[in-house]
Amino acid sequence: MTLTTIDGLDFDVPLDHTRIKALARLHHDQLGEAIYHKDQHIGELGIAHRVKIADFTHQLPTEQRLEFYKIYNHELRRLAVDDPLHPPHAEEGVNVFLLIVIMLMIAVILYFAFVRHVTG
pLDDT mean for each 10 residues of the chain (120 residues) = 74 83 89 82 87 89 92 89 67 81 94 78
How would you classify residue 36: left for phi > 0, otherwise alpha for psi between -120 and 50, otherwise beta?
A: alpha
Question: Residue 8: what pLDDT?
Answer: 77
Number of domains observed in the structure of the chain = 1
Q: Yes or no: say if 72 and 53 are a contact pair by the CB < 8 Å rule.
A: yes
Polymer length of the chain: 120
**Residue 9 covered by a domain:** yes
Q: Is residue 120 part of a domain?
A: no
Q: pTM of this prediction?
A: 0.63
Structural domain boundaries enclosing 82? 4-93
Judge whether 101 lies within some domain: no
Per-residue pLDDT, 38: 78
Flag whether 63 is in a domain: yes
Q: Is residue 117 part of a domain?
A: no
In a domain, 98, yes or no: no
